[in-house]
Amino acid sequence: MSEKKESLFSKKNRKLLSDPLNDNNPVTTQVLGICSALAITVQLKPAIVMALSVLVVLSVANVVVSLMRNLIPSRIRIIVQLVVIATLVILVDQVLKAFVYDVSKELSVFVGLIITNCIIMGRLEAFALGNKPWKSFLDGLGNAFGYGWILIAVAFFRELLGAGTLFGYPVLEKLGLYEMGYENNGMMILPPMALVTVGVIIWVQRMKNRDLIES
């Protein structure tokens, strides 16, 4: 094994990791995985737990499917993928229940819904089935980070503007804004505002990168 075909962090591999963060973001550009995402962005903590869970499931599932890609008959690949994902999600769910029970209660059905999170299916179909494990791992990581930062950004604004706290710490109260007559916007806590927040993020992103604009 004297010659190295491609270094582990070649330019191409780095791109796999960085692309999904912005221009090819799974949420705002590929429109995947909105399903189980928005409902848990009222506060930062569950959003971060959710992002981490998706990170684990997506990167491991990508590697596993990529290792099996030459063994899976294409007719039954969806079922095989679902079984791989469901097994990983059960593991994650049990870990969450054991170590962060309160957050796991808050996430309720949305941990289970990682199974049908289209990001995972989408990346398995589009990438892991045709690429080597290491590349698939990077692709999984990149996409999970891309998904995670959108979740965290949405949760940041919703918690800050809606409840005036961050991680439950009353930031605005300490800043003395309430004495100046500021009031929390209770609407940010309601589900519809998650959609509007994502809409605005997409707006800002497309203003910066005009190539993404739909005709």
Partner 1 sequence: MQELVNIFIKSIFIDNMVFAYFLGMCSYLAVSKTVKTSVGMGFAVIFVLGITIPINYLLENYVLKQGALVWLSDSFVDVDLSFLSFIMFIAVIASMVQLVEMIVEKISPALYGSLGIFLPLIAVNCAILGGSLFMQERAYNSIVEATVFGLGSGIGWFLAIVAIAAIREKIRYSHVPAPLRGLGITFIITGLMGIAFMSFMGIKL
> Can you give the length of the chain in residues?
215
With binding defined as CB under 8 A, does residue 95 bind partner 1?
Answer: no
Please identify which residue in 59, 62, 104, 117 interacts with partner 1, judged by CB under 8 A.
117
Please identify which residue in 21, 56, 115, 166 interacts with partner 1, judged by CB under 8 A.
115
Write out the binding residues for partner 1, residues 72-91 only, by CB under 8 A: 78-79, 82-83, 86-87, 89-90
With binding defined as CB under 8 A, does residue 203 bind partner 1?
Answer: yes
Helices 118-126 & 44-67, crossing angle to 10 degrees?
A: 30
Write out the binding residues for partner 1, residues 15-34 only, by CB under 8 A: 28, 31-34
With binding defined as CB under 8 A, does residue 211 bind partner 1?
Answer: no
With binding defined as CB under 8 A, does residue 107 bind partner 1?
Answer: no
Residue 98: exposure state from Cβ atoms within 10 A (0-12, 13-18, ≥19): exposed
Q: Which is nearer to partner 1, 10 or 108 (CB)?
A: 108
Q: Which is nearer to partner 1, 78 or 175 (CB)?
A: 78
Rounded Cα gap, residues 132 and 5, in angstroms: 13
Write out the binding residues for partner 1, residues 127-186 only, by CB under 8 A: none
CB of 54 vs partner 1, minimal distance in Å: 13
Measured in whole angstroms, the distance separating CA 203 from the mean position of its chain's CA atoms is: 19
| C-alpha distances out from residue 53 to 2, 57, 73, 99, 111, Å | 38, 6, 28, 13, 8
CB of 179 vs partner 1, minimal distance in Å: 30
Q: What is the C-alpha radius of gyration for the chain, rounded to an integer number of angstroms? A: 19
